Amino acid sequence: MRAFSRLFAVLIFFAAATAATAQQNSWIQVEAQPGRNLALESASSYAQRVQNVGGFRLGRSSWYAVVLGPYEDRAARTLAAQLRAQGVIPDDAFVTLGENHGERFWPIGAATTVDDSVTLQTPVIDTAELGGDDSATAATTDTVTDTATDTAAANADPIVAPEPVEEPDETPAEARRSESLLTRDQKKQLQIALQWAGFYDKGIDGSFGRGTRASMRAWQESKGHDTSGVLTTRQRQELLDDYNAVLTELGVALVTDMTAGIEIMLPTALVSLEKYEPPFAQYNAAGGDDLHRVILISQRGNRNTLYGLYDIMQTLEIVPPEGPRRKRDLNFTLVGQNDRFISHTEAVLNNGQVKGFTLIWPVGDEERRTRLLDEMRASFTSLSGIVMEDSVGTDGANQHIDLVSGLRLRRPDMSRSGFYVDAAGSVLTTTDVTGQQCKRLTLNDTVVADVQASDDASGLVLLTPREQLEPIDFARFQPEIPRLQSEVAVAGFPFEGVLGLPSLTYGKLADIRGLGGETGVDRLDLTPQPGDAGGPVLDNNGAVMGMLLPRRRPDGRILPDHVAFAADAEAIAAFLGAAGVVTEPSDRARQLGTEELTMLAANMTVLVSCWN
């Protein structure tokens, strides 16, 4: 009875402290339950012991929070510490501003949303539920006497309390006693929080040795506390509150996606489920914010499925090309970064299912991103036997060639054609594609290449791949002057890679000089597309006669229809020879059929792309 009297006095103190300050809707979140029915049971149980119990859905998730309040922020934090010490609420209960509170489910019949004008309250505790001895509350009640408490309890009129006085903290001996009750996991959590705050750089082992004590003293000094090296209950809570503040403001909560078969902590204050487009469940931010996104990955498959996903993800806009990536036997990690956002993807193959997630976050917000990423990794759970079906959320009318499962493909600024000129994979192409001041040049979208030599006068560029290539075939050049009006074919990517494979455009050799009699170029009677520029010009035997030049002339004029020009074999040989590449003459003596010529062209022709 004496212990309860002291606690009741503390509650009266909080009522007065609350009334004396501006009202701010702070709440003590005591529990979160994965379902409305469980949350109703929990709220009902607390309501039998404590007044001011409330319940809210957390954002649009399937989780529901049981809370106490609202209170003024300072009173809420101190009161939460006292109720935790009494065992009335769990040790992991915390104070929140309720930004993520959605629909209200408790009390039953109450308004479904929070009323900002609601009077701040203080709870009343049932004595039968408390127990404990006087020592548990002695440090909290030195300023209120038992007599005053009994009188206040019997008086129905409002109680005028003295000005709030800072509650005395634990003595070093009391702090050591309370610390001795911590579990090993709780001690590890404190070490993690100290590490996050920048005061601890040792192992997370749950053992408070000299390194941990030194970090505690440093943290206490930074906060203006006595540097004892032993954190009091209040200081431990302050440290954990600071550590968890990042997650609280993001509304981080456990989300169970039964369609994807994944359970994971998500920032529900920022993102919510928008749509399913297998194998992706897209959790996007409101208002067109494309810098805060989470994508869950779920599909049936095997190792080939995993590796295919690894390749496909790297073609998407959400995975910038710059960044580390790692592919292993049964999992992969992709990290991409540009000047706007960082993308982190992880996926794993297990029991015939490929599951994972992508977190997209703006650059310059590393503290919140890394904390959130740690929570997502630690909580990620694949629900056994549940995987996203291929038919979920599909809409044939909304399909688009630039999209993969609803995610936009990353497209280059420009693509042109090129062709291998030696067995090492060197590629000849046009200055049309390299004149864009590209940040990155690629061959067939994946292999990064560098400019080895360039000649603006002839329009020729030689590229070398950064990785070793072994092309199926490369150009063999026509050793003789071609005959006028002979048939020619240009191999290239007329639609800049949309078709995936090169195609042939047929025509005739109109002249072996330019319109002004220039040497080094051939005039062709055919109408190519812009993407064909840089492609090889082949004769009927498959020998390379030249390289197609862009139809737009250096002076800005565009050639008439059916008129195109190509750098001839002699000009190409001179350019390549100066760059150290020796051309090989063709020894084919017979005319190739259409299928043979198409296959030869496909084996040597390359899509060259400029990316910025």
What is the per-residue pLDDT for 122? 44
**Confidence band, pLDDT 50/70/90 cuts, at residue 527:** confident
Q: Which of 58-67, 235-244, 457-466, 562-571 has the lowest mean pLDDT?
A: 58-67
CA distances from 378 to 178, 236, 381, 551 (A): 28, 23, 9, 57
The mean pLDDT of 406-430, rounded to a whole number, is: 85
Looking at the chain, the whole-number percentage of residues with pLDDT higher than 90 is 45
Q: Which of 198-207, 311-320, 336-345 has the lowest mean pLDDT?
A: 311-320
| Measured distance CA(400)–CA(498) in Å, rounded | 12
Tokens of 253: 């909560």
The mean pLDDT of 222-229, rounded to a whole number, is: 93
The mean pLDDT of 417-437, rounded to a whole number, is: 90
Q: Which domains does the chain have, with CATH numbers?
A: 1-168 (no CATH), 169-250 (1.10.101), 253-404 (3.40.1000), 411-612 (2.40.10.120)
What is the per-residue pLDDT for 85? 81
pTM > 0.75: yes or no: no
The residue written with tokens 């009927």 in the block is 540
Q: What is the DSSP string of 305-364?
A: HHHHHHHHHTTBTTS-SSS-EEE-SSEEEEEEE-SSEEEEEEEEEETTEEEEEEEEEETT
34-39, long-range: CB < 8 A, 24+ apart: 34/62, 34/63, 34/254, 34/256, 35/62, 35/64, 36/64, 36/105, 38/64, 39/64, 39/65, 39/66, 39/105, 39/106
Q: Which of 40-44, 100-104, 146-150, 502-506 has the lowest mean pLDDT?
A: 146-150
What is the per-residue pLDDT for 169? 77
The residue written with tokens 């042939």 in the block is 504
**89, pLDDT greater than 60:** yes
**Confidence band, pLDDT 50/70/90 cuts, at residue 248:** confident
**Whether the Cβ atoms of residue 437 and residue 603 lie closer than 8 Å to each other:** no
Q: Which of 283-297, 347-361, 403-417, 464-478 has the lowest mean pLDDT?
A: 403-417
What is the per-residue pLDDT for 488? 94
Q: Which of 84-98, 339-353, 371-385, 495-509 has the lowest mean pLDDT?
A: 495-509
What is the per-residue pLDDT for 37? 81
**Confidence band, pLDDT 50/70/90 cuts, at residue 98:** confident
The type of residue at 87 is G
| Measured distance CA(605)–CA(493) in Å, rounded | 9
Among 115, 107, 116, 128, residue whose Cα is nearest residue 53? 107
What is the per-residue pLDDT for 168? 64
**108, pLDDT greater than 90:** no
| Measured distance CA(418)–CA(452) in Å, rounded | 14
What is the per-residue pLDDT for 395? 54
More confident residue, 353 or 144: 353
HSE-CB for 542 with a 13 A CA cutoff: 24
More confident residue, 11 or 522: 522
**274, pLDDT greater than 80:** yes
What is the per-residue pLDDT for 164? 44
**416, pLDDT greater than 70:** yes
More confident residue, 381 or 130: 381
Q: Which of 277-291, 383-397, 499-513 has the lowest mean pLDDT?
A: 383-397
**162, pLDDT greater than 70:** no
The type of residue at 456 is D
**Confidence band, pLDDT 50/70/90 cuts, at residue 436:** low
What is the per-residue pLDDT for 444? 87
The mean pLDDT of 434-458, rounded to a whole number, is: 87
What is the per-residue pLDDT for 44? 87
**112, pLDDT greater than 70:** no
**Confidence band, pLDDT 50/70/90 cuts, at residue 8:** very low
What is the per-residue pLDDT for 572? 95
Please, what is the average pLDDT of the chain? 82
**Confidence band, pLDDT 50/70/90 cuts, at residue 228:** very high
**Confidence band, pLDDT 50/70/90 cuts, at residue 115:** very low
143-152, long-range: CB < 8 A, 24+ apart: 143/13, 144/6, 144/9, 144/10, 144/12, 144/13, 146/2, 146/5, 146/6, 148/9, 149/5, 149/6, 149/8, 149/9, 149/12, 150/5, 152/8, 152/9, 152/12
What is the per-residue pLDDT for 545? 94
What is the per-residue pLDDT for 437? 75
**Confidence band, pLDDT 50/70/90 cuts, at residue 194:** very high
What is the per-residue pLDDT for 557? 66
What is the per-residue pLDDT for 113? 53
